[in-house]
């Protein structure tokens, strides 16, 4: 019983991470309506920028740890948000207006560009963070042991849950949310009703990039490092989750992603971890095929 409770507790951080990433991806997918692996690259880009500036702040500027982390987090958010704005403003929006399928091709080029920028910036090194906020908080004590999480795990869950709550509130209660739903459903009709569809497109992608920046920073703080292979794997899972759940309700995609995070953790605890990613991705593909609907995507 204690082991199961600990596995359920371990599922909270990864489920919260997947949920936040899926929510952000749904915002972008509602505009492009095409699979976009650039989102996973932005997630990895944010984590590596965080690592790079943490290294600079600690080893070159000789800052104390809180100042180092604050500098790295601010730089990660700024660089990733600006990168997201540049991508949507100069690549995705013009291509989507000319040929929507070109977005898929462009996303591959953007992944290569972002990965090479960070490889050159880090001199092909792999940087690591020293563990911090790793004190364990015990929730329950039983005969088989204790059930708990570290401070950084709890903090990440709280921050991502707050991010989801804020995002859902903005989508449900504000004009921005109504405009997003209108453009996602029919951009031409939205324009006829006076909605700035191009502005909503850009703002949605920038918001998605901002969420990827926050998630990348929190994930890197917890795991200690980040590389583009891990980021793209996260991005691939999120793409499949969003495709199954649809783009019309970001919170629905987030809920599905949380279930995937729980499934991954339980698989790691009770089944061979070597086959975990293959099993999860295969299950998502099967679910996507089973739930496929015949419809025309403009």
Please determine, for residue 279, whether its predicted confidence score (pLDDT) is greater than 60: yes
Q: How far is CA 195 from CA 176, 186, 250, in A?
A: 10, 11, 20
Q: How far is CA 241 from CA 66, 112, 251, 279, in A?
A: 35, 23, 12, 14
Contacts 24+ apart (CB under 8 A), 132-137: 132/65, 132/69, 132/221
The predicted pLDDT at position 195 comes to 92
The predicted pLDDT at position 296 comes to 42
- Per the DSSP assignment, residues forming a β-bridge with 146 are 141
Cβ(156)–Cβ(222) below 8 Å = yes
Please determine, for residue 155, whether its predicted confidence score (pLDDT) is greater than 70: yes
Residues 84-112, mean pLDDT to the nearest whole number: 86
Q: How far is CA 163 from CA 158, 242, 255, 278, in A?
A: 9, 18, 14, 29
Q: What domains are there in the chain, each with its CATH number?
A: 2-132+146-290 (1.10.3470)
Residue with tokens 């082991």: 3
148 phi, psi to nearest 5 deg: -170, 180
Cβ(51)–Cβ(281) below 8 Å = no
CA separation for the pair 245, 67 (Å, rounded): 40
The predicted pLDDT at position 33 comes to 80
The predicted pLDDT at position 140 comes to 84
296 phi, psi to nearest 5 deg: -95, 125
Cβ(241)–Cβ(257) below 8 Å = yes
User: For the stretch 5-21, what's the b/e string if a residue is b when 16 or more beta carbons lie within 10 angstroms of its beta carbon?
Assistant: bbbebbbbbbbbbbbbb
235-272 pLDDT, tens digit each: 777 777 766 655 668 888 888 888 888 988 999 889 88
Please determine, for residue 297, whether its predicted confidence score (pLDDT) is greater than 50: no
Residue 79: name the closest of 212, 232, 238, 198 by CA: 212
Which segments within 68-135 are labelled E, that is strand?
Answer: none
CA separation for the pair 18, 12 (Å, rounded): 10
The predicted pLDDT at position 101 comes to 76
295 phi, psi to nearest 5 deg: -155, 155
Task: Output the pTM of the full model.
Answer: 0.91
**Cβ neighbours of residue 24 under 8 Å, at least 6 residues apart?**
39, 167, 207, 208, 209, 210, 211, 212, 215
Neighbours of 133 (CB within 10 A): 14
Mean pLDDT of the chain: 88
Cβ(104)–Cβ(34) below 8 Å = yes
Which segments within 108-184 are labelled E, that is strand?
Answer: 136-142, 145-150
The predicted pLDDT at position 89 comes to 92
Cβ(34)–Cβ(201) below 8 Å = no
């Amino acid at each position: 019983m204690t082991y199961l409770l600990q596995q359920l507790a371990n599922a909270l951080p990864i489920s919260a991470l997947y949920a936040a990433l899926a929510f952000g991806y749904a915002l972008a997918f509602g505009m492009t309506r095409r699979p976009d692996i650039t989102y996973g690259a932005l997630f990895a880009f944010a984590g590596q920028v965080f690592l790079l500036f943490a290294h600079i702040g600690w080893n070159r500027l000789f800052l104390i740890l809180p100042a180092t982390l604050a500098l790295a987090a601010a730089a990660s958010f700024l660089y990733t948000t600006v990168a997201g704005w540049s991508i949507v403003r100069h690549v995705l929006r013009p291509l989507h207006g000319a040929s929507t399928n070109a977005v898929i091709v462009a996303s591959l080029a953007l992944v290569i560009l972002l990965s090479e920028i960070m490889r050159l910036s880090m001199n092909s090194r792999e940087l690591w963070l020293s563990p911090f906020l790793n004190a364990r908080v015990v929730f329950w004590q039983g005969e088989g042991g204790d059930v708990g999480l570290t401070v950084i795990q709890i903090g990440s869950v709280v921050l991502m849950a707050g991010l989801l709550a804020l995002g859902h509130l903005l989508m449900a209660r504000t004009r921005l949310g109504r405009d997003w739903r209108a453009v996602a459903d029919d951009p031409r009709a939205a324009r006829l009703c006076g909605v700035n569809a191009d502005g909503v497109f850009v703002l949605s992608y920038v918001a998605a990039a901002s969420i990827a920046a926050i998630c990348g920073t929190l994930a890197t703080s917890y795991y200690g490092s980040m590389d583009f292979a891990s980021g793209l794997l996260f991005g691939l899972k999120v793409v499949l989750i969003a495709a199954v759940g649809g783009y019309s309700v970001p919170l629905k995609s987030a809920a599905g992603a949380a279930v995937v995070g729980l499934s991954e953790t339980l698989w790691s605890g009770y089944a061979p971890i070597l086959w975990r990613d293959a099993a999860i991705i295969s299950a998502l593909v099967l679910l996507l095929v089973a739930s496929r609907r015949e419809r025309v995507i403009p």
